[in-house]
Amino acid sequence: MTIGAVAMAQCILNVEGARSVFDPAWVQRNHGNLSEDLTFKAQQGLDRVNSILGQILNNEADRIGFSTVVGAGSKGDGLCETVGNRKNAVILFSPHSLEDISGNLSPTKNIYLTAWLDQVSKLPDDAACLKSKIASADEGQVSALMGLYRECAFCLDADEIYFILKHELSHIKQSDNEKRLALRLVAATCALIFLNLYSDSVSPAVFFALAALSLFFPQLCVKKSEYPQELRADACGIRADARAKKGAKSYFKKMAVYELAAERYYQLTGKAFNSGTFAAEKICHTAGIGHPAALERYSAVMSA
């Protein structure tokens, strides 16, 4: 019965994963409260993103034989994610990232954005020099950088959106979602076989501990697979495309500035800015799981 309960729990987790991959309409309906987040500005932003997507897909080299839809409603504080498969895919943008920075921002937001871009432009473009510069900054400087980032994190220009779309289309072309689902199912199967083999030879306490760990093993495997997939999607997105590379440089430099500033703030004060996210990302970057650190991605783009 215990094995059956663990198997059922694994199946629930993996059915959820399967649904996320093979039913994009379901995901779009259930990613947060769209009715509250999808404001008029966000709808205008979707029109802008769809226009950029059209520019990409009208390029013969980027034509694809599947349906791609842009929607609003990315998970949590995330910027963008792709759900679906090669036949049907939904690229979900956070509603907060859909404001048009070319003229629709509020005066206050525009001041923050101008200050943020000015600060970033004054920092070195070389990744090593950028890291060194922020590593020598004082508490006031890094606090200012993080505060401006928080206000302007998802203010994207057209070139940055262009790159992000190219990156997400690379995920779809390479069937990354399908690969992650297959890996999750294989990992879950291996975990269940392991539990079944050793269920009679370990104490109940040890067995239940192993059973609990087995529920997270498939997710850990998927997170580990994301690391090289993200770097590969970056490389594919900018390949032979000057506009995408320009957008990638701009986007990843801003992300790297924030990550480095958060690290420096922690060194100076012992306090983590946005502590939950900071701690989780630090662990993931060290372990090589999930998304690579922004500085690593920035370095790869700069050297491509």
Domains of the chain: total: 1
pLDDT at residue 18, as a whole number: 47
The CA R_g of the chain, rounded to the nearest whole Å, is 21
Counts for the chain of helices (H) and strands (E), in that order: 13, 3
Specify whether the CB–CB gap between 249 and 255 falls below 8 A. Answer: no
Q: What sections of 154-203 are H helices per DSSP?
A: 158-173, 176-198
Q: How far is CA 65 from the centre of its chain?
A: 25
pLDDT at residue 158, as a whole number: 93
Which of 226-255 are b and which e, b meaning 16 or more Cβ less than 10 Å from the residue's Cβ? Answer: bbebbbebbbbbbeebeebbbbbbbbbbbb
| 3 state DSSP class of 213 | helix
pLDDT at residue 290, as a whole number: 85
> Per-10-residue mean pLDDT for the chain, 304 residues long?
50 48 55 56 82 82 65 70 80 81 80 93 96 95 90 89 94 88 82 75 75 78 90 94 96 94 90 68 81 94 94
Report residue 186: phi and psi, to 5°. -65, -45
What are the beta bridge partners of residue 80? 93
pLDDT at residue 189, as a whole number: 81
- Token readout for 88 is 């049907």
pLDDT at residue 67, as a whole number: 67
pLDDT digits (tens, 9 = 90+) for 35-60: 555 567 777 888 888 889 888 888 75
pLDDT digits (tens, 9 = 90+) for 160-209: 999 999 999 999 889 898 888 888 888 878 877 777 777 777 777 777 77
pLDDT at residue 66, as a whole number: 62
What are the beta bridge partners of residue 83? 90
Identify the domain containing residue 207 by its residue range.
Answer: 2-303
